[in-house]
Structure 1
Amino acid sequence: MEMARPSSKRTLLWDWTLTRDHDTTPALQETTASLAKSLSSHRIASITNWNAWRPPELNPADLPFRPMIRTRAQLEGGEWDVIRGSIDAELQRDPSSAVVVHTFDEPERIPLSVDDALRLWRTRILPLRQSHQRIKLVSPACASDAQGSRWLDAFMDALSLDGERDERPDILGLHFYTMPDQTAEQGLAAAKAYFEGRRAGFGMFPVIVSELACTSRDPAVVDRFTRDLARWLEEPKQEWVVEYGFFGVLREVADGFVSPAAQMLDQKGAWTGLGTWWVGLEEE
């Protein structure tokens, strides 16, 4: 399954507020312009924004976009039309690559019950894959805590594989955040064990880690965790991790759990040191 540029697995988690503020924020305009140079370094494989629509300000337009069916709302009305339009645009953009569609973002917190998710998966989402062989579905991506693990276990266990009837996703979607008091070494060990355990438990699917971050308030801990885990994820023996993205590319800290030290942008919209490294504007 051809998914990303050679040697690249990094997906840019581009918050929707950047699209909202782009035309009135000069530093953010400079940031988007810098992505052309980043693309030439082959560090970024794709972009996603937790939405059905492609960020129009990102250039060049040939960077693959991964639309997301974040909640049941994206399966209805105008949002459904946008999902279909984004998929059609990706099918036309590159006839040789898979069109990857993310589904249900931390459904256990919406909350969306497993039963409702299964019904929507079978009646609305699986027909997308049946409509074109290049469409690849990512499983719902749950939080890496006990509640998220129970939800994903129940969802995956309920999917059928019976002869030609395969309800399983093409790709396993995962999230991972460290605990704020963990050292870089503890966070790294926990992340590796979580990714390997989840994959082994579900039958060795390819994996996309669609949210990932260290939540320590110590910038040195965040920096070491982020860079060391990126190196591990990009090793050849982790070829089963096809894409991953650090949270996040946004100007404001999303909530009290997320660490300000992990931000890829500052409040003006310029790359932080970590962001400059992440998108390939700094040497590894």
Structure 2
Amino acid sequence: MRTTTTFVIAALAAPLALAQTTSSKRGLCYVNSTYSNTDDPIWDGGGSDLTWYYNYGYTPTSGIDGTKLQYIPMLWGPPPSNTDMTFYNNVKSLIASGTQIKYVLGFNEPDGCISGGSCMDAQTAAETWIREIEPLKKEHGILLGAPAVTGSPTGFTWLQNFFTACAGNCSADFIPVHWYGNFEGLASHVGQVNGTYPNMTMWITEYALAEGSLADSQTFYNQSANWFDSLSYVTHYSYFGAFRSDVSNVGPNAAMLTQKGQLTDIGAWYLGQKATGNTPKGGAAQVAKFAGWAAVVLAAMMWVMT
């Protein structure tokens, strides 16, 4: 059911955290870029409080120290055939080589066909899950993350259709959540997800205030991080911003790095460090990059406010 106005007001009234905090819940949503070789050491360095990461694939990132950040494989989208076992076999190989795999993530925004969505129908997703993901739990005790749908109304519908198509054969342990909008919308959306799936924990695997001002982006970060840390059913969260501001597709002020690769205040706070005072600046191509998100964010915001 829809979250109530009372829930949203209570979330907004939660006290803000001091900007410099640490949390074992924080992870890295790794986005590869032309700067990765230079910037990767930032995320697993001695001053980072991050404990886990995912990279939208099922092969660990060579520039990230797996002994510091636990790797979470993801089956991003539909395989090339209905007999393909590539994901399953790769995860099995990682385990055999000594890599500790405690969790895997399902499909990335299968209800979305723009801006990184895997554009996958629920029936195909269910069949693929049963074939490649479910056996990992039965054979190795790996905990499974449900498909990470968009924050728009289509996301809830798609996820309901997915579990229906599974016919009881998809035993997800937690629900990943994506959100790109203000804190009020985030609080409402998270509340609805929790109300719909009360017996599952939640991971916030992508979130940011897209195209916000610097002040609004920083306020959003502090509100959301403080709130996630206070919620027992949110066990993991990963801010979407591990890239430089001039290549950000959610606006320069959401990025954790400046255009020069320096930590912004948000980036430093997320790693458990003091503010840097470094101001992010954007690039000329950002408006075009962000255009794909606009429809999704607008639809989601209109929905949660009704």
TM-score range, shorter chain: 0.7 to 0.9
Q: Where does residue 181 of structure 1 map in the other structure?
A: none
Matched, 1:63 2:69: yes
* Offset from partner CA, 1:69-119 (integer Å, 9 cap, x none): 111239947665433333445xx455xxx6110110001123110111111
The CA deviation at 1:221 is 0.6
* From 181, 190, 194, the counterpart of 2:189: 194
Correspondences of 1:73-222 after superposition (within 5 Å)? 73=79, 76=84, 81-89=89-97, 92-93=98-99, 99-109=102-112, 110-133=118-141, 135-161=142-168, 167-178=170-181, 187-222=182-217
**SS in structure 2 of the partner of residue 269 of structure 1:** coil
Q: Give the structure with the larger strand fraction.
A: 1
Distance across 2 between alignment mates of 1:132 and 1:78? 17
The letter of the residue matching 2:46 is K
Q: Is residue 122–residue 165 contact of structure 2 (8 Å, CA) maintained in 1?
A: no
Distance across 2 between alignment mates of 1:225 and 1:65? 27
**SS in structure 2 of the partner of residue 122 of structure 1:** helix
**SS in structure 1 of the partner of residue 51 of structure 2:** strand
* Offset from partner CA, 1:142-193 (integer Å, 9 cap, x none): 11011222111221344444xxxx5220111111110xxxxxxxx2222112
* From 30, 41, 44, the counterpart of 1:14: 30
Q: Is residue 26–residue 50 contact of structure 2 (8 Å, CA) maintained in 1?
A: yes
Distance across 1 between alignment mates of 2:227 and 2:72? 23
* Offset from partner CA, 1:205-258 (integer Å, 9 cap, x none): 1011110110143111111011111001101xx111010111121235353xx1
**SS in structure 2 of the partner of residue 124 of structure 1:** helix
The CA deviation at 1:60 is 6.0
Distance across 2 between alignment mates of 1:34 and 1:105? 22
**SS in structure 1 of the partner of residue 247 of structure 2:** coil
Matched, 1:241 2:234: yes
Aligned length: 246
Q: Is residue 37–residue 281 contact of structure 1 (8 Å, CA) maintained in 2?
A: no
* From 271, 275, 295, the counterpart of 1:279: 271
1:60 to 1:66, Cα distance in 2 relative to 1, 3 A: closer
Q: Is residue 209–residue 254 contact of structure 2 (8 Å, CA) maintained in 1?
A: yes
Q: Is residue 43–residue 64 contact of structure 2 (8 Å, CA) maintained in 1?
A: no
Distance across 2 between alignment mates of 1:78 and 1:17? 25
Distance across 2 between alignment mates of 1:60 and 1:115? 34
Distance across 2 between alignment mates of 1:21 and 1:44? 17
The letter of the residue matching 2:52 is S
* From 29, 37, 59, the counterpart of 2:46: 37
Q: Is residue 33–residue 243 contact of structure 2 (8 Å, CA) maintained in 1?
A: yes
The CA deviation at 1:67 is 1.0
Unaligned runs of 5+ in 1: 1-5, 179-186
The letter of the residue matching 2:70 is P
Q: TM-score, structure 2 length as denominator?
A: 0.72
Distance across 2 between alignment mates of 1:226 and 1:188? 9
Q: Is residue 114–residue 155 contact of structure 1 (8 Å, CA) maintained in 2?
A: yes
Q: TM-score, structure 1 length as denominator?
A: 0.77
**SS in structure 2 of the partner of residue 36 of structure 1:** coil
1:274 to 1:232, Cα distance in 2 relative to 1, 3 A: same
1:195 to 1:280, Cα distance in 2 relative to 1, 3 A: same
